[in-house]
A and B are shown apart, each in its own frame.
Chain A
């Protein structure tokens, strides 16, 4: 029972990260009907940005500022770097291809993903870096929830993710720009005709999606310690699965999907074998695509002939 609860917490933690990543995929798909293959690399650079800030601030053992300030700065830096890359991608790799065939943006995204991985390899070399999180936020700083101890780091991750998702939901429902995003998701032509600047909306979408991915990157560094240039690839695939399972294009769907995949991975690793965690997630995706491509909360596509 204890193990189960522990795994549930693991699932929540993982799920939070996947949800943040999946949101980026879903939002971009919603407004552009396009899958941003390079999203995983944005997340990876966010993680490295956080690491960079940590190092500049003296590293986990010799911090020049209080821990909470360091973590906050790491989040901010990762959001900045991730958004920067995301915006550059939108402006230079994807925008020129808005009216091209459906193959072109996909290929460009794959190329971008490849390029960014290589850039990371060049800049950071193949060695993985470690946040050395246990030194940063000691493991024994834990909260006792029922029969188990939950590490402070995981609580931080889960709470931050929840707060961000609440903020996002509020923003999308209430703010003008948020409503514009929803409008463009629904029907970009009609939105343009209503006077919405679709280009700006797309930029904002990329900005937010990438920032969330950056935060996710730092979280992974904090919880699991190791970051490396290929981390974006598999995480990207899984987050993508989460987005599809939850219903691509749907924000609550991405959150739901993220949690589901997080749990799937946690329980598989614990109860079956860690070797198969990837396989199971991939099999989940394939199943969903075949049975219900619109996921749990997505809208089935209706095309006018």
Chain B
């Protein structure tokens, strides 16, 4: 079976700085793969290349076997990759529901004149995406439902904002979901919830998921496979246990010579 995402020989430099060198990563259908590594290892750059913000200098990125290199972020989103951002980029001044509805643009086809006249077809489609948005928001229990739908997104707590961002990503009905540090800034209870959530995203919604994460509890709880990067190079790959024991990984996180003390 073709993997959902296949990256081969990827490399990227900014000026003289080589951010990613000769990287191979695969995500199989229905798999959850975590990417870990110290800051500056190139993880977000990897995401940015997959989602189309940067073009790789060399290498291939294949979505379901088809190359997406050179495509714009909008095209890639339409092809089935959705992501969240490390810095959290929701539409603060739009309501919660509108945030999620906004992601359905590529799947809808109401023309401007139909919107102006509010034709029956336009109204039907509007109702449909409204229901879709509410359904996706319902994935998070009661947290983002009811009166919250009409609240501006800036009124949400930090954890709820992260959930909103995931709901928004889900609304574009992707095949591959990329989560950039979904548990960043969360307390232990919220972190546990995120771990469960990611599992449910795969079980109930069937997404293949690529995750960047620093919190090892989350990584341990969710990953089928873990890929460890350092300075743009893959230094280990395997199950969580294998990667956690890998001396190169320990050194990358804890410094030279730390591996010996393990």
Contact = CB atoms under 8 A, between A and B. Distances in A.
Bind each other:
yes
Interface of A: 302, 305
A54 to B, nearest CB: 53
Contacts of A305: 44, 48, 53
Nearest to A302: B14
B74 to A, nearest CB: 15
Interface string B10-39: 000010000000000000000000000000
B85 to A, nearest CB: 8
- A-B complex: 4 closest residue pairs judged by Cβ atoms: A305-B53, A305-B48, A305-B44, A302-B14
A305 B48 CA distance: 8
A177 to B, nearest CB: 30
Contacts of B44: 305
A305 B45 CA distance: 9
A42 B248 CA distance: 62
Interface of B: 14, 44, 48, 53
Contacts, number: 4
4 contacts: A302-B14, A305-B44, A305-B48, A305-B53
A82 to B, nearest CB: 39
Contacts of A302: 14
A302 B54 CA distance: 12
Contacts of B53: 305
A305 B14 CA distance: 13
B44 to A, nearest CB: 8
A302 B17 CA distance: 14
B84 to A, nearest CB: 13
A305 B12 CA distance: 15
A305 B53 CA distance: 9
A299 to B, nearest CB: 12
A171 B48 CA distance: 41
A253 B32 CA distance: 52
A305 B44 CA distance: 9
Nearest to B85: A305
A305 B54 CA distance: 10
Nearest to B54: A305
A219 to B, nearest CB: 41
Contacts of B48: 305
A305 B85 CA distance: 9
A104 to B, nearest CB: 14
A302 B44 CA distance: 16
A156 B48 CA distance: 56
A89 B135 CA distance: 51
A305 B50 CA distance: 14
Nearest to B15: A302
B29 to A, nearest CB: 28
A29 B48 CA distance: 29
Contacts of B14: 302
A300 to B, nearest CB: 12
A305 B43 CA distance: 12
B15 to A, nearest CB: 9
A55 to B, nearest CB: 53
B47 to A, nearest CB: 9
A19 to B, nearest CB: 31
A302 B53 CA distance: 13
A215 B154 CA distance: 47
A305 B83 CA distance: 13
A305 B86 CA distance: 9
A130 to B, nearest CB: 52
A305 B52 CA distance: 12
A271 B48 CA distance: 52
A190 B112 CA distance: 46
A302 B14 CA distance: 10
Nearest to B44: A305
A235 B48 CA distance: 43
A99 to B, nearest CB: 14
A6 B106 CA distance: 62
A305 B51 CA distance: 12
